[in-house]
Amino acid sequence: SQKIEQNSEALNIQEGKTATLTCNYTNYSPAYLQWYRQDPGRGPVFLLLIRENEKEKRKERLKVTFDTTLKQSLFHITASQPADSATYLCALDAQNAGNMLTFGGGTRLMVKP
């Protein structure tokens, strides 16, 4: 069966360090993968999209990698700040389903000052 796995345990890191979050998937052949941020009591907010033919994408302090052989995406936040504390969700395009996305369960990041 299709599965998207993100570490359900919270990731606690010190301010200034690099946070690395993992998204693994099975039985998908996604054309692209997205990362979203969700703060408590709010809807998710789009951060980055990476396509299957792209190895890496950067936006300011964010970097995403996409390895279709390993079926894994890594999401990095460099020079992390307490304001980066949130839940981060990865999402894949659902196969043969138009514009639909399937979301992982998310990983909560806590950046301590």
Residue 109 makes contact with another protein by CB under 8 A? no
Residues 52 and 71 sit within 8 Å (Cβ to Cβ): no
Look up residue 105 and give its DSSP letter: -
Site string for another protein, 49-78 (x = CB under 8 A): x-----------------------------
3-state secondary structure of 59: strand
Residue 80 makes contact with another protein by CB under 8 A? no
Q: How many CB atoms lie within 10 A of CB 37?
A: 20
* List 66, 84, 88, 106, residue binding another protein (CB under 8 A): 106
Residues 47 and 59 sit within 8 Å (Cβ to Cβ): yes
* List 1, 9, 43, 69, residue binding another protein (CB under 8 A): 43
Residue 102 makes contact with another protein by CB under 8 A? yes
Question: Virtual CA dihedral for 57, 46, 94, 11, nearest 10 degrees?
Answer: 80
Footprint on this chain of another protein (rule: CB under 8 A): 32, 34, 41-46, 49, 89, 91, 93, 97-106
